[in-house]
Chains A and B, each alone.
Chain A
Amino acid sequence: DVKVTQSSRYLVKRTGEKVFLECVQDMDHENMFWYRQDPGLGLRLIYFSYDVKMKEKGDIPEGYSVSREKKERFSLILESASTNQTSMYLCASSALNAEAFFGQGTRLTVV
C-alpha cells in the first residue's frame, strides 16, 4: 500500500517560531510537492522537487523554504511563522507523468 506520511495532523505554533513540516514517501518517487489548501483557493503550489537537493518555486513560495536531502523526504520550513500562514498543508509525491499520492495533511495554526 503506497504511502505519503506527514509528521503531524495538527500543529499549533506561535508567531515568529521556525516551523518544520516533514513528509516521507515510500514509493521511490522522483517528484515531491508541498501545497497549501485554503477555502475557495484550492491547492496552491508552494515548492516542488524533482530530485534530491533540487527544488523549484511554485506560486506562493514567499515565507517558505524546503529541503530534500534524501529521495524519500521533503521538508517544508516556515522561517518565521505568521498568522497568515495558518492553513492546511498537503504533501504529495509522484513518478513522472503519473498520479500524485497525497498525505493526510497538516493543519497548522499560528497564534
Chain B
Amino acid sequence: QQPVQSPQAVILREGEDAVINCSSSKALYSVHWYRQKHGEAPVFLMILLKGGEQKGHDKISASFNEKKQQSSLYLTASQLSYSGTYFCGTDLYNNNDMRFGAGTRLTVKP
C-alpha cells in the first residue's frame, strides 16, 4: 500500500526547480509531505486534503489530483537548505493510517 515516488534522486544547482511526484493505486483522503535531512527526523512540510487543493510554503508548493490519485511537490528557485530526502505519506481512509513512499533524495549544489 506504499505510494510510489519519482524520481528516486535528483541533483540540482542552486536556483533550479524540481518536481517530485507521488502516486497511489488507491483513492486517497490526504497526502502529507516531509523532508528528512541526514541523521535527523523527518519534518513536516504540508498536508493536502481531498478536494484537489494546492498549498504553498515559501517556495515549496504542492498539488493533489484526487482523480489521478497523485500529488506533486514543487520546489522553485532551490536553495542549498532544500537538500534532503523528501517523503510523501498517504492516508486512504481518513484515519491517519499513513504509509510513506520510498523517498526522493534531493541534492542542491552551489
Interface residues, chain A, with chain B CB atoms under 8 Å away = 31, 33, 35, 40-45, 48, 50, 56, 58-59, 90, 94, 96-105
Contacts and interface: CB of A to CB of B under 8 A. Distances in A.
B87 A94 contact: no
B103 interface: yes
Interface of B: 1-2, 5, 30, 32, 34, 40-44, 47, 49, 87, 89, 91, 94-103
Contacts of B103: 42-43
Contacts, number: 67
Contacts of B42: 43, 90, 100, 102
Contacts of A35: 100
Nearest to A35: B100
B94 A42 contact: no
B2 A59 contact: yes
Given A59-B99, A104-B40, 6 more contacts: A45-B98, A50-B95, A56-B97, A59-B1, A96-B96, A104-B41
